[in-house]
Amino acid sequence: MAKPERGLGRGLDALFSVEQSVGENQVSEIEIKLIRPRKNQPRKYFDPELLQELSDSIKERGVLQPILLRPHEKGYEIVAGERRWRAAKMAGLKAIPALVREMGDAEVAEISLIENLQRDDLSIIEEALAYKNMIEEFDYRQDILSQKIGKSRVHISNTMRLLSLPQEVIKLLEGKQLTPGHARALLRLDNDAAQIKAARKIAMGKLTVRQTEHLIRFDEKEAGKTNGIMAEDADLQERLQKHLGSKVKFKRGRQGGTIEISYFNEEDLERILEIVGLDNIH
């Protein structure tokens, strides 16, 4: 079966439209006990309070939008709509309206990710892990994934870079003690200990992203002093780091010097090349 052409625009509205209830888009009532969630579903956390609100709404009005399933073993696997399925179970429903389609693993992963992105259901780490899974499991390049889901390659790369943060920082981010803006600022620090120390300060002091950037700028300048970096070089280094979203180091000699730009992997290198206008050199 052909995969979605590209972007978020055409995908789920067409897939879920009850009006297109012919052929493979026929809406059926499927027994809830025959349905299982997908093991690699991008969304890992379901807010209990919001789930209860949806369950109460289902009790009153029913399930207004069918979920999407594919045949799996002796029953069905959820492609999109796990939250509605969970809420329907809580509401005591025995069956739920669903579209059933034959789909391969890659298409299932695409649609599941797209649905969650459209509904803004994923945490930033869940989103990053979903991108990582698509690239590693289905051998997608970031530019292809960008076309599939309608997110820029730079966004995908920058989001995945958050996975390089220490686990303590990731837990603070998942616990909403840090925002994605805080986390992106922490990436400018070049070691785990510095990132953890700064993250604790941010969480305890409830610092804004702007305050965090000032904190990290101060730490970088202090590090610059110990490394003999001139003030004007430290300022330029800071501006380059903010522009490139990567660690930058200056090494000045008697005549000239070097600028060192760090990158995490080949995809991150492509992101930097794209920023500086050299994305077509390969």
For the question of residue 73 being annotated catalytic, the response is no
Query: What token pair was written down for 218?
Result: 């101060």
Asked if residues 162 and 183 have their Cβ atoms less than 8 Å apart, the reply is yes
- How far apart, in Å, are the Cα atoms of 11 and each of 79, 86, 148? 13, 23, 10
Angle subtended at Cα 8 by Cα 244 and Cα 174, rounded to the nearest 5 degrees? 55
Per the DSSP assignment, residues forming a β-bridge with 261 are: 248
Spatial separation of the C-alpha atoms in residues 57 and 233, rounded to whole Å = 59
Q: Which of 77, 82, 126, 174 is catalytic?
A: 82
Spatial separation of the C-alpha atoms in residues 196 and 210, rounded to whole Å = 18
Spatial separation of the C-alpha atoms in residues 270 and 282, rounded to whole Å = 9
Spatial separation of the C-alpha atoms in residues 226 and 253, rounded to whole Å = 16
Residue 31: CB atoms within 10 Å: 12
- How far apart, in Å, are the Cα atoms of 265 and each of 19, 141, 157, 262, 269? 46, 12, 10, 9, 6
- Active site residues per annotation: 82
